[in-house]
Amino acid sequence: MATSTPASTQKKDDWSSQKYVKNASFVPVLGAPVLQLLDPQPDEHILDLGAGDGVLTVELEKKCKSVVAVDASAAMIEAAREIGIKNAHVIDGHDLAEHELANGQFDAVFSNAALHWMKKDPSRVVQGVNKCLKPGGRFVGECGGHMNVAEVRASMHAALKKRGINPEEVDPWYFPSTKTYTQVLEENGFRVDYIELIPRLTLLTTDIAGWTDTFGFSFLRPFDSDPAERQRVIDEVQENLTFSQDHGAWYIMYVRLRFKATKIRD
């Protein structure tokens, strides 16, 4: 299947596959229940939206006929190719609807831990998913939901406000409630079969500072030209969250939004 990368997707890449492996290897591991909800079949063609470094995509590939992995980050797609995902492409989820992949060829679209990064226009993303799917195709995913990582988000907002920066302008996350996302799905041609917010206390592989360095890049962008101040912000966010440490291990309170939807119209 041929695909091209439109110029509009070639943006600054904030993702680092090295940092992801070091600080966030729990993300694909904890994606197993979403894969189970998808229930991929041996004859199915599946699109993995926001596939990242491909660790979970590899598991998906074992269970179906073919997988196309797409992600907005060139670094992550390169990492996915390095572990053997051949059909991997740099595409922003917002551009999916105009892409040649959006031709009703997929049995299912799968997405783990990625949709909440597609904040600019979540409806547009779902429209793209719809166009990729055959009639009756499934959209199964998990992303951050209402009140996800609230303690780290609040600590980052406080650190930025203290420095005279409006955190709302750099907060990259869309964490919808079940009501909000049900509406987005229903307005864009889906029937919601299942949707749930799942609180999940999550053990980190490193600490809050490692997590912030990996996922907090948008909040930290105002300090890109001042590495010392950037590090001070990271340290301050962690210092404000020492209560989240237990016996040397660091935790964040994740809230996942997990759903399964079926395409019922274009």
Ligand X SMILES: C[S@@+](CC[C@H](N)C(=O)[O-])C[C@H]1O[C@@H](n2cnc3c(N)ncnc32)[C@H](O)[C@@H]1O
Q: What are phi and psi of 12, to 5 degrees?
A: -60, 135
Residue 172: CB minimum distance to ligand X, A? 8
Residue 141: CB minimum distance to ligand X, A? 9
What are the contacts of 158-162 at 24+ separation with CB within 8 A?
158/240, 159/219, 159/233, 159/236, 159/237, 159/240, 160/219, 160/222, 160/233
Position among 40, 52, 189, 216 found at the interface with ligand X (CB under 6 A) = 52
Instruction: Report how far apart, in Å, the C-alpha atoms of 233 and of each of 30, 37, 238 are.
Output: 28, 38, 9
User: How many other β-carbons are positioned within 10 Å of the β-carbon of residue 12?
Assistant: 6
Residue 65: CB minimum distance to ligand X, A? 20
Binding characters for ligand X, 84-123, by CB under 6 A (x = yes) = --------xxx-----------------xxx--xx-----
Interatomic CA distance for residues 124 and 139, integer angstroms:
14
- Contacts to ligand X from residues 6-25, by CB under 6 A: 15
Number of amino acids touching ligand X (CB under 6 A): 21
Segment interacting with ligand X (CB under 6 A) among 46-54, 127-135, 178-186, 238-246:
46-54
Contact residues toward ligand X (CB under 6 A) are 15, 27-28, 31, 50-52, 55-56, 71-73, 76, 92-94, 112-114, 117-118
